[in-house]
Amino acid sequence: MLVKPTATQTDDKDRVRMVELRKQGWTDRAMAQRIGCSVWTVIRWVKAFARGGWDAWAYPSCAPKTSHPLPTPEAVRQRIREI
């Protein structure tokens, strides 16, 4: 069974090819067949490029936006110790 790569499995070479093919007038389906990925993968990356150019292809960090979580209030910590 042939498994098509997902959006996270396509590389920059494939994404550049998508942009080039789009400029040549290729449809999403035709690009997906040519590159060997799903139509939704093509749609995702072509739209991302249209919104933000090359920088839009960078994966956003999943790291928390704050450096440290909020400290647990002392009263709560004391209750935990009592349990």
What CATH number corresponds to the domain at position 44? 1.10.10
Asked whether residue 81 is assigned to any structural domain, the reply reads no
Asked whether residue 35 is assigned to any structural domain, the reply reads yes
Range of the domain at 42: 1-58
Task: Take residue 80 and report the two structure tokens written for it.
Answer: 């935990």
| Structural domains of the chain, count | 1
Q: For residue 38, give Cα distances in angstroms to 9, 49, 72, 83.
A: 11, 17, 46, 53
Query: DSSP code of 66?
Result: S
pLDDT above 90: residue 53: no
Task: Take residue 41 and report the two structure tokens written for it.
Answer: 């993968």
Are 42 and 12 in contact by the 8 Å Cβ rule? The answer is no
Report residue 77's pLDDT band, with 50, 70 and 90 as the boundaries: confident
Asked whether residue 45 is assigned to any structural domain, the reply reads yes
Asked whether residue 17 is assigned to any structural domain, the reply reads yes
Q: What is the mean pLDDT of residues 32-36?
A: 91
Please classify residue 17 by burial: count the beta carbons closer than 10 Å to its beta carbon, then call 0-12 exposed, 13-18 middle and 19+ buried. middle
Asked whether residue 72 is assigned to any structural domain, the reply reads no
**Summary mean pLDDT of the chain:** 81
pLDDT on residue 48: 87
